[in-house]
Structure 1
Amino acid sequence: MSDQDSSTSASQTEGECEGEMEGEMEEEMEAEEERNVKHRESPARSLSNFSSSLCAVIRIKQKYQALRKRRQELALGLEGAGSLAGAPARASPKIFTFDGLTPSTFPTLTSSLPQRKKRRRRKRVLFPNGGRCRAPPRQEHSRAKYCLYLLCAIVFLQVYNAIENLDDHVLRYDLEGLEKTLRREVFGQQGAVEGLLSHLKDYLSTYVHNKPLVVSLHGPSGVGKSHLGRLLAGHFRSVVGETLVLQYYVLHHCPQEANALQCARDLSALISGMVERAEEEEKIPLFIFDEAEHMHGEILDALWQLVASKQSNEYLNAIYLFLSNLGHAHITKHMLHNSSSISMAMTASGRHSNLVKELTPILRNTLKKLHPLWTEVDILPLGLLEKGHVMECFLDEMAREGFYPDRTNIERLAGEIEYYSAVGGHEYSQTGCKQVVAKVNLL
């Protein structure tokens, strides 16, 4: 038997059962109505009539339940027969309810409905590090950035504090006051004064050094070397103390060459004691050696050991100033031969810078033949003084001695000084301001 025939027979059986049930129900209802009509037609109602009506209702209910049970048994029997024949199971429709209906009861109906497709969840696509992402990566803020900001602030404060300490260290030595004094008291050597102050500022800006400051001033007689040394000694005595400044005159402290070895030992011991005292007080001492051209070899050797050797820190924090007329012939010759090329409009600093640039190699080659000490020094040549500078020396000395600064008298005294032949509009003195003090004392 085919599926279509089995379904058709099942539907016919269900229709017959439903027809029989409906017929029985109609007959029962008609009988009940007839009883009710008879009871309504009778003039009096009694308790027996009411009980008969109740019994009729109960009987109808029992009949309905029996029919319902019979229908369910019939439906189960049809499902079992269909499964044995290989036909899809179908159940007859129930009366007044849809209980027991399942999707398998109507296979043709459920198969005809469009089924909703399930969307498959796509897997997350991972892009390589070097590939190009569809969306820009989210930038995460690192907490290390705040640590970097803090480190920068600390470094800035440290640098600022170091600069403030450098300024305090320079202010201790009052270099501005020293500059004013040298510009007022030293005549004709403004370029050399600026060079010396530049060395002092660079060295005194800090207390820790890798070598001592050694400066050598060279020039002819009377150009102001000793006067410049006295001004420096007086200024440093006022700022660091009397015990940390040494003015050493060779012809006075060690005139005999036979005592040169003992003088060298005494000088080394004196310098060692001063640098140790300066280290305790955190100051920089000053050693001035005037008339260095008369120094004996033993003294030069002792000083060379102190300057060139890498000793402890206290020996590195010191200033050595040498004053001598070594190489004065080269300075005089250079200035006389190049006076015509020197412009009158050039400043003193410009003239001195040219003088240093041209004379330093010549002087260094000459001095290093005398002793190795001169290879460790910074050379500053002092030029010849002109007639105008000599007149300034007379004016200053006369003001010190209390004389009236008469212009005519000053020109007369300046005229008594010997000069080189005028070259290029410059008239240089042969003795500088050496004779100024002696001539003013004769007034």
Structure 2
Amino acid sequence: MLMISLVLVLLLSEIIVTPADAIGLGVAGAVALASLGIGYYGHWLSSRRYSPEDFSSREYCPEYWAEANMIALEETLKQKVYGQHLAEKVVLDVLIGHIKNPNQAKALALSFHGTTGIGKTFVSRIIAESLFKDGLSSKYVHVFSTRLHFLHESKLPEYKNQLQYWVSSNIAACGWQMFIFDETDEMPPGLIDVLKPFLDFYPKIGGVDYRKSIYIFLSNSGGREISRRTVQQSADNMTRENITLKEMDGILKKMAFNLKGGLWHSNLIEKNLISFMVPFLPLERSHVLKCIQDDLRDKAFLSATPKITEGGNFKQVNIT
């Protein structure tokens, strides 16, 4: 039997634990879980908006969230997302509520917060794949990266006009759209506020209903505070599952509003237009190893669960 030994070096540079085995994944997450992330579209400004006639035979603008698969969403969150009890519950509950309600009061806006490499991007991908037939490749899913699309703060007026046009024109063509903004904490301050009319409680603007769409903001802001709270929970001999969304909500809103970045003094927070601020907790060592196992299995490196042995900061995975 041929044994292939694969050594995965995890740079556990942000160990935040003292009494327990919880670790802030940081660089380690970027290395070990990079393949779980989503890619970005080509330069969105060079593309034109879509109209119903542009949709391929695989995707048409639906009359409702016809392709939404909430059962698959629930199963994938439970089977593939580790250590994120708050995110798992909030994401599932609010999406079911938004999808099943034919008369939404407003568009759904979720803001994911936590350190790098702990699942924010991965959960966004799961949501897209559960709601749209083509997942992230869907014509209805738009992914923005601050470092790619909004790099120069000096171009803020230009970015505002372009982003507002992109969102409004696509929703005018088809109301069921999903917008993902990565690195929100690095966006030029004030840019994100152009989304306010689309997230507000208006039945229609210029004859267009913007309430069906979904917005997801990914941010590292509040990550250290979330990590500190998780470590304190362990120091108090309490499980991380006892951390509640209510106690984290105020912390995240305060941090996002006061830190220089995309949500700094944002109208979206002032007017309570972000539906939920979702904390992503730092991963424990066991969570990291499970993520590695899943990734290797998904890439067909193995047909069964690999045996992972530890040695210092090195993890050796024996694959049959």
Asked if TM exceeds 0.5, the reply is yes
SS at match of 1:269: helix
**1:286 partner amino acid:** M
- 1:362 matched to 2:251? The reply is yes
1:412 CA displacement:
2.6
From 122, 127, 146, the counterpart of 1:232: 127
Which residue number in structure 2 is paired with residue 98 of structure 1? Answer: none
Query: 2: distance between equivalents of 1:235 and 1:258?
Result: 37
From 150, 153, 161, the counterpart of 1:257: 153
Contact 1:236 1:245 in 2 (8 A): no
> CA 1:286/1:263 → structure 2, altered by over 3 Å: closer, same or farther?
same
From 247, 251, 267, the counterpart of 2:163: 267
> CA 1:342/1:306 → structure 2, altered by over 3 Å: closer, same or farther?
farther
Query: 1: distance between equivalents of 2:81 and 2:191?
Result: 29
Query: 1: distance between equivalents of 2:223 and 2:201?
Result: 29
Which residue number in structure 1 is paired with residue 280 of structure 2? Answer: 382
Query: 2: distance between equivalents of 1:305 and 1:382?
Result: 28
Which residue number in structure 1 is paired with residue 17 of structure 2? Answer: none
Contact 1:286 1:319 in 2 (8 A): yes
Contact 1:187 1:389 in 2 (8 A): yes
From 278, 296, 300, the counterpart of 2:188: 296
Query: 2: distance between equivalents of 1:317 and 1:169?
Result: 9
1:219 CA displacement:
0.9
What is the 5 A alignment of 1:170-181? 172-181=67-76
Contact 2:86 2:279 in 1 (8 A): no
From 77, 91, 114, the counterpart of 1:196: 91
**1:211 partner amino acid:** K
Percent of pairs identical after alignment? 25
Q: Deviations over 1:90-145 (max 9, x none)?
A: xxxxxxxxxxxxxxxxxxxxxxxxxxxxxxxxxxxxxxxxxxxxxxxxxxxxxxxx
Q: Aligned Cα RMSD in Å?
A: 2.7
- 1:337 matched to 2:232? The reply is yes
Contact 1:170 1:201 in 2 (8 A): no
- 1:392 matched to 2:286? The reply is no
Which residue number in structure 1 is paired with residue 8 of structure 2? Answer: none
1:171 CA displacement:
6.0
Unaligned runs of 5+ in 2: 1-62, 259-263
From 123, 128, 141, the counterpart of 1:245: 141
Which residue number in structure 2 is paired with residue 41 of structure 1? Answer: none
Query: 2: distance between equivalents of 1:331 and 1:325?
Result: 10
Query: 2: distance between equivalents of 1:294 and 1:342?
Result: 35
1:217 CA displacement:
0.9
TM-score normalised by structure 2 residue count:
0.67
Which residue number in structure 2 is paired with residue 214 of structure 1? Answer: 109
Contact 2:67 2:133 in 1 (8 A): no
Which residue number in structure 1 is paired with residue 21 of structure 2? Answer: none
Unaligned runs of 5+ in 1: 1-167, 418-435
1:231 CA displacement:
2.2
**2:94 partner amino acid:** H
- 1:184 matched to 2:117? The reply is no
> CA 1:172/1:389 → structure 2, altered by over 3 Å: closer, same or farther?
same
Query: 2: distance between equivalents of 1:202 and 1:218?
Result: 22
Which residue number in structure 2 is paired with residue 412 of structure 1? Answer: 310
**1:356 partner amino acid:** L
* Higher radius of gyration, 1 or 2: 1
1:367 CA displacement:
2.2
Query: 1: distance between equivalents of 2:87 and 2:233?
Result: 18
1:320 CA displacement:
0.9
Which residue number in structure 2 is paired with residue 286 of structure 1? Answer: 178
TM-score normalised by structure 1 residue count:
0.49
> CA 1:184/1:206 → structure 2, altered by over 3 Å: closer, same or farther?
same
Contact 1:244 1:286 in 2 (8 A): yes
SS at match of 1:202: helix
Contact 2:185 2:221 in 1 (8 A): yes
Contact 1:223 1:385 in 2 (8 A): yes
Query: 2: distance between equivalents of 1:304 and 1:296?
Result: 16
> CA 1:191/1:210 → structure 2, altered by over 3 Å: closer, same or farther?
closer
Query: 2: distance between equivalents of 1:267 and 1:309?
Result: 20
SS at match of 1:376: coil
Q: Deviations over 1:318-374 (max 9, x none)?
A: 111111111112111111112133545xxx7x43xx331211112212223322223
1:228 CA displacement:
1.4
SS at match of 2:310: helix
What is the 5 A alignment of 1:114-129? none
Q: Deviations over 1:257-298 (max 9, x none)?
A: 22232222111111112211224xxxx211111111111124
**Relative CO higher for 1 or 2, CA cutoff 8 Å, sep ≥ 6?**
2
Contact 2:67 2:131 in 1 (8 A): no
- The structure with more helix, counted as a fraction of residues: 1
From 187, 199, 223, the counterpart of 1:307: 199
Which residue number in structure 2 is paired with residue 124 of structure 1? Answer: none
Query: 2: distance between equivalents of 1:343 and 1:226?
Result: 28
Query: 1: distance between equivalents of 2:99 and 2:301?
Result: 40
